[in-house]
Structures are given as structure tokens and as C-alpha cells.
Amino acid sequence: MSRKKKRETMKPKYFSIPYIVWMSVFVVAPIVLVLYYAFTTSGGDLTLANFGAMGRFLSVFVRSFWLAIISTLVCILIGYPVAYILSKEGQRVQRIMIMLIMLPMWMNFLLRTYAWMSILENTGLLNRLLSAVGLPGLNIINTPSAVVIGMVYNFLPFMILPIYSVIVKIDRSLYEAAHDLGASALAVFRRLVIPMSLPGVLSGVMMVFVPAVSTFVISQLLGGGKVMLLGDLIEMQFLGAAYNPHLGSAIALVMMIIVILFMYVMNRFGEGGEKAVGM
């Protein structure tokens, strides 16, 4: 290989250096620190006691994953029909609707959650409307229901957009061929649209479930400190009165492993669905 060609092949490698540095500083280094703190004591000795101490927080783990699962399912039930109907509209309507879906995301996450506090609180907008029409008020604020509402509102666009991007790319000739062969609209939706949109659904599930299971702002504001989730528990170990970064790192590590396993299973399930569609 000539010297000129060798230099040309080496140039692309230099462009990856900033990315490698960024990943090393902001991804690899924090993970190494979490691993170190999770397996050591305050004196620096190796221990597994931090993981044993997590047993008393089992209810927080169960609550976090349960509320994240509920929020993800609600996002699917709302997001899939919206994405499907949106894909059937004209280009102009699609552009307007996509902008409206993304518009709340341009606002600060904290401000959006504060807005829901003013809506759901006992003297908030929702209860005022119910009172105006003669209906009893609802006690939603500072409950798991309020946390789920906040999760669904904040993460719903992450479910709609992946599903929409997949459905809108389905070849229209496939719909025509299915109808020409005598398939009903329901059969086309069940045997064509759903299988082919599965990758978008799985992407949406991961994009909703992962931030939902680790959130802490929503649970603090809409849960009022009464609905503790894993994010709140980890924050308490690093910033709260119960300062214990070793226990916090152990909890974060276990949560990270569970999330990675979940993502692996979902990816494997998606590959199986794509193979089934290809057959």
C-alpha cells in the first residue's frame, strides 16, 4: 500500500477520536465509578453488603417497574391508533400533526410537569371544571395515578413517532394487493399493519419504559414524595440526608442491569417478529 493511500485510510479514524473521548469521559468513566462504589465500603474494602442492603427497598423496585409498565401500556393504547390514523392522512395534515405532537417537547420538562400539578391538585383546573358541572372532585394529586399521568404525557411522543415512522413507510401497493385478494380492512390491519409495525412498537416501548422506570422529577412533583420510585431512591443516596453513595451505586447498577436485560429481550423479540413477517 502506498503512503498516500495509507494516509487516506487513516483519516476516517481520526474523526472518531472526539466521539471516543466523549464516550470515555461521559459514559465509561461514570460506569466505572458506579461499579467501584457498588462493590466497596466507605473505607475502600471490597464487599457485597451494598447489594444485601437493597432488600428493604424491594417495594420501591416493584412500584417503579409496575408504574413504568402501566405507563408504557397506556402509551401503546393511545399512541398506536394516533400513529396509524396519522399515517393515513395527507402530507400537509401529517406535518401539522407531527409539529403539534412535538410542540410540548420544545418546552422544559420541569415546566410541563409543573403544569400538570396545577391541573391535578385538589383546587386545580380539573376539579374546578368538575365542580362547575356539579360533579364531585377527584383526589389525584400525590397518588400513583398522578405519576402515571405525568409519565404518559411526557413520554407519549416517544411512542407515537417511532410507530408512525414505520407505518408511514409501508408500501401502499401491499394494501392494494391485500384488498384485491379479498382481505377486509380488519384483516389487512391484523395481518399486515401490525406485524410490519412491530419494530416501531418495540422502539417506542424501549423509549418509554427506560426513562419511565428511572424518572424522579415526575414522582417528586406529582407524587408529592409519597410515591417513591427508583430514581428518587438513588437521588436520596447521593444528595439526600441518607447519604450513602455505595448503596446508591448498587441500586443504580442493579437497575441498569435489569434495563439492559429488558432491552436485550425486546431486541430478540423484535428480530423474531421481523423473521416471522419475512416468512
The model's pTM is 0.86
Looking at residue 32, its pLDDT comes to 94
CATH number for the domain including 164? 1.10.3720.10
Is position 128 within any domain?
yes
Give the integer Cα–Cα distance in Å for 191 and 149: 32
Is position 86 within any domain?
yes
pLDDT tens column, 143-187: 999 999 999 999 999 999 999 999 999 888 888 888 788 888 888
Is position 23 within any domain?
no
Domain that holds residue 63: 57-278
Could you tell me the three cell numbers for 264?
436485550
Query: Residue written as cell 430478540?
Result: 268
Q: How far is CA 5 from the centre of its chain?
A: 45
pLDDT tens column, 186-206: 888 888 899 999 989 999 999
Is position 164 within any domain?
yes
Is position 139 within any domain?
yes
Looking at residue 278, its pLDDT comes to 47
Is position 90 within any domain?
yes
pLDDT tens column, 26-56: 889 999 999 999 999 988 899 999 999 998 9
Q: What percent of the chain shows pLDDT beyond 90?
A: 55
Write down the mean pLDDT value for the chain. 87
Is position 122 within any domain?
yes
Is position 148 within any domain?
yes
Model confidence band, residue 242 (pLDDT cutoffs 50, 70, 90): confident
Q: How many domains does the chain have?
A: 1
For 242, other C-beta atoms within 10 Å of its C-beta total 11
pLDDT tens column, 108-146: 888 899 999 999 998 889 999 999 998 888 899 999 999
Instruction: Look at residue 8 and tell me whether its pLDDT is greater than 60.
Output: no
270 vs 222, which has greater pLDDT?
A: 222
Q: Mean pLDDT lowest for which of 35-44, 75-84, 184-193, 265-274?
A: 265-274
Instruction: Look at residue 228 and tell me whether its pLDDT is greater than 50.
Output: yes
